[in-house]
Structure 1
């Protein structure tokens, strides 16, 4: 499966091959980074991502991760954990066609906001990190 995506202004574009592993993330780090109640992330092998036109600007968002975003429009695009350099998470909302990227599990479940009801029937995994 080949997928493509971009930031809001189109400055940073990407193509990715393979079958992404998609989940909802409810951790407070993702909430703050996206300005939303949760993030929806698609994990792929790092080497399968081709950045087109420009690469994201990266910022260390915590002692364990860094995030990529468009320096022109600010769109969040990616998440890299230091402990997993062979994979990257891309924000599902940045894909040109996000419809087939259905989340399969929840992460950071203990930090889920009580009024969030999406994916309630999916498996749950927790994280110890809090930001």
Structure 2
């Protein structure tokens, strides 16, 4: 069943509506995605390009001879991935969705650059922003709640 979901960048300048066919997402571990997001992998939701409506068109970076990536030039949020010769599908970054918890990971891609030690982190200590003094005190000093 198709579901309309929304998302956008951190500063709110770039917003989108997307027609989602399922709850599937994947991690891409290729070096291009690691560099583009600054993370050990990029978490993506693949969907039909025609199912994405940008309320404000993002900027596009030609990240290679075969692909381009939408982003916000104001806050730097990476918003996705698209082949220049479109396959009819594109990817949006999982974290840019307003409800990223809707999705579940179903596959790994770009595994030649996969960092195995970053996949199973369930035994690491967990720290929450609202109870981490160095974070919470700064938000409080700014007169705001921890997001």
CA RMSD of aligned residues (A): 1.3
Higher relative contact order (CA 8 A, sep 6+): 1
Gaps of 5+ in 1: 119-131
2:80 alignment partner, one of 75, 78, 81: 78
Runs of 4+ deviating beyond 4 Å: none
How many residue pairs get aligned? The number is 117
Gaps of 5+ in 2: 121-147
Alignment of 1:1-131 (within 5 A): 1-20=3-22, 21-52=24-55, 54-118=56-120
Q: Give 1 or 2: higher strand fraction.
A: 1
Q: CA deviation at 1:82?
A: 2.5
* TM-score normalised to structure 2 length: 0.75
Q: CA deviation at 1:37?
A: 0.6
Aligned to 1:16, the other structure's residue is in SS state strand
Per-residue CA deviations over 1:11-37 (Å, capped at 9, x if unaligned) read 000011132542100000000000011
Q: CA deviation at 1:115?
A: 1.4
- For 1:50 and 1:117, the matched residues in 2 are separated by 33
Q: CA deviation at 1:100?
A: 1.3
2:130 is aligned to none
Aligned to 1:62, the other structure's residue is in SS state coil
* TM-score normalised to structure 1 length: 0.84
